[in-house]
């Protein structure tokens, strides 16, 4: 009889061994992803640090707002692409390694979304400026998407998933799809304003 426990235990051991296996693939992929996230996060301050030119960015708050918003959406898209991509490369260690990085990509998405919100807070002029603009539909969609991403980030650790139970945790994390629709609406509408 094929149970989920047996599949999970054999899936982790499949391909493991002295030649590398999925653990090495997952670790190497994680190093690349961490390096990429750090580079993308640090990129906006490079004109200031490398060139020592405070005038390098005409409007730094707007630049940060657009930069972090773009990368939050990009990491959300990458998170959503992991499962279909893992199905395409079903065999071998890369499928397993890709799936292991989904949480990291989702948390990177949340981090960039939080940085995007902080940039917007600066751009709008603090809480008073934000209160004047929250009724705009694309701002409201962005705030709802951030609330959804916050909930997903809070419930992302394994301990919380275990506490919620697998079925409830999966149902909750399917909220990533409505969040993605809100993000698409937010991005498209923000470009029109």
DSSP string, 125-174: TSHHHHHHHTTSHHHHHHHHHHHHHHHHHHT-SHHHHHHH-HHHHHHHHT
Question: How many domains does one find in the chain?
Answer: 1
Residue 12 within a domain: no
For the stretch 15-32, pLDDT in tens is: 443 344 444 555 666 677
pTM metric for this prediction: 0.73
Exposed, middle or buried: residue 60 (CB in 10 Å: 0-12, 13-18, 19+)? Answer: middle
Residue 77 within a domain: yes
Say if residues 119 and 68 touch (Cβ distance below 8 Å): yes
Of the pLDDT bands very low, low, confident and very high (cuts 50, 70, 90), residue 150 is: very high
- Per-residue pLDDT at 29: 67
3 state SS for 8-50: HHHHHHCCCECCEHHHHHHHHHHHHHHHHHHHHHHHHHHHHHC
Percent of the chain at pLDDT > 70 equals 75
Residue 71 within a domain: yes
Write out the residue range of the structural domain in which residue 55 sits.
Answer: 18-192
Say if residues 15 and 21 touch (Cβ distance below 8 Å): yes
Residue 6 within a domain: no
Q: Is the pLDDT of residue 86 over 80?
A: no
What CA–CA distance (Å, rounded) separates 115 from 128?
A: 19
Residue 119 within a domain: yes
């Amino acid at each position: 009889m094929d149970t989920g426990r047996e599949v999970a235990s054999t899936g982790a051991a499949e391909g493991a061994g002295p030649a590398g296996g999925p653990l090495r693939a997952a670790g190497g992929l994680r190093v690349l992803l961490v390096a990429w996230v750090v580079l993308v996060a640090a990129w906006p301050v490079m004109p200031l640090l490398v060139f020592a030119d405070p005038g390098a960015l005409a409007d730094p708050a707007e630049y940060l707002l657009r930069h972090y918003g773009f990368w939050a959406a990009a990491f959300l898209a990458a998170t959503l692409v992991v499962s279909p991509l893992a199905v395409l490369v079903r065999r071998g260690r890369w499928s397993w390694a890709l799936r292991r990085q989904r949480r990291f990509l989702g948390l990177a998405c949340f981090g960039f979304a939080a940085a995007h919100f902080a940039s917007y807070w600066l751009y709008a002029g603090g809480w008073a400026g934000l209160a004047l603009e929250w009724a705009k539909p694309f701002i409201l969609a962005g705030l709802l998407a951030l609330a959804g991403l916050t909930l997903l980030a809070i419930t992302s650790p394994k301990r919380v998933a275990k506490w919620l139970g697998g079925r409830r945790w999966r149902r909750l994390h399917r909220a990533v799809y409505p969040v993605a629709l809100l993000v698409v609406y937010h991005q498209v509408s923000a470009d029109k304003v």
